[in-house]
Chains A and B, each alone.
Chain A
Amino acid sequence: MTTTVAVRSEQAAKPITDRPKRTFPWKSVIRGAIIPAAIIAIWQILSSNGAISETLYSSPWNILKEYYELTKTGELPHHLRISLVRASLGFLFGGGAGLLIGLLVGMSRPVEEVVNPTVQMLRTIPLLAITPLFIMWFGFGELSKVLLISLGAFFPMYVNTFLGVRNVDAKLFDVGRVLEFNWWKRTTRLVLPAALPNILLGTRLSLSIAWLCLVVAELLGAESGVGYMIQDARSFVQTDVVFVGITIFAIVGKLSDSIVRVLEQRLLRWQDSFKG
Chain B
Amino acid sequence: MTTTTKALLEIDNVSKIFRNGASTTHVLDRLSLNATEGDFVTVIGPSGCGKSTLLKIIAGLDTDYVGSVNIENRKVDRPSQEKGFIFQEHRLFPWLNVESNIAADLSLSKPEVRERVNELIKLVKLEGFEKAYPRQISGGMSQRVAIARALLRKPKVLLLDEPFGALDAFTRAHLQEALLEIWQTNRTTMVLVTHDIDEAVFLSSRVVVMDAKPGRIKSVIPIDLPYPRKRTGTAFQDLRTHVLRSLEHSETEEPSYTI
Can you give 16 A-B contacts (C-beta < 8 A)? A2-B173, A6-B170, A13-B128, A15-B132, A16-B137, A17-B131, A171-B91, A172-B91, A174-B61, A174-B87, A175-B87, A189-B104, A189-B105, A190-B93, A194-B95, A271-B135
Given A15-B132, A175-B91, A269-B133, 13 other A-B contacts at CB below 8 A? A2-B170, A2-B173, A13-B128, A17-B131, A171-B89, A174-B85, A174-B87, A179-B105, A179-B149, A180-B79, A189-B93, A189-B105, A271-B135
Q: Which of A10-45 contact B (CB under 8 A)?
A: 10-11, 13, 15-18
**Do A11 and B125 form a contact, CB below 8 Å, given A3-B173, A189-B105, A194-B95?**
yes
CA distance A2 to B61 in the complex (A): 38
A262 within 8 A of B: no
A185 within 8 A of B: yes
B143 within 8 A of A: no
A193 within 8 A of B: yes
B59 within 8 A of A: yes
Q: Which residues of B contact A (CB under 8 A)?
A: 59, 61, 79-81, 83-85, 87, 89, 91, 93-97, 104-105, 125, 127-129, 131-137, 141, 149, 153, 170-171, 173-174, 177
**Contact across chains for B132 and A178 when beta carbons are under 8 A apart:** no
Which of the residues B59, B95, B137, B170 comes within 8 Å of A178, measured between beta carbons? B59
Residues of A within 8 A of B171 (CB): 6
CA distance A177 to B87 in the complex (A): 13
For A273, give the chain B residue with the smallest CB separation. B135
A181 within 8 A of B: yes
For A15, give the chain B residue with the smallest CB separation. B128
Interface size (A, Cβ < 8 Å)? 30
Residues of A within 8 A of B84 (CB): 178
Prevailing SS type, chain A contact patch: helix
**Do A18 and B131 form a contact, CB below 8 Å, given A179-B104, A180-B79?**
yes
CB distance from B199 to the nearest CB of A (A): 14
**Do A178 and B93 form a contact, CB below 8 Å, given A3-B174, A6-B170, A16-B136?**
no
Mask for A193-218, Cβ within 8 A of B = 1, else 0?
Answer: 11010000000000000000000000
CA distance A175 to B90 in the complex (A): 10
**Contact across chains for B105 and A178 when beta carbons are under 8 A apart:** no
CA distance A270 to B93 in the complex (A): 10
CA distance A185 to B81 in the complex (A): 15
CB distance from B232 to the nearest CB of A (A): 13
**Contact across chains for A180 and B80 when beta carbons are under 8 A apart:** yes
Q: Which of A82-139 contact B (CB under 8 A)?
A: none
Residues of B within 8 A of A13 (CB): 128
Residues of A within 8 A of B85 (CB): 174, 178
**Contact across chains for B127 and A11 when beta carbons are under 8 A apart:** yes
Which of the residues B87, B132, B137 comes within 8 Å of A171, measured between beta carbons? B87
CA distance A193 to B93 in the complex (A): 9
**Do A272 and B141 form a contact, CB below 8 Å, given A177-B79, A185-B105?**
no
The 10 closest A-B pairs by CB, nearest first: A15-B128, A272-B135, A16-B132, A3-B174, A270-B95, A18-B131, A177-B79, A193-B95, A270-B133, A178-B85
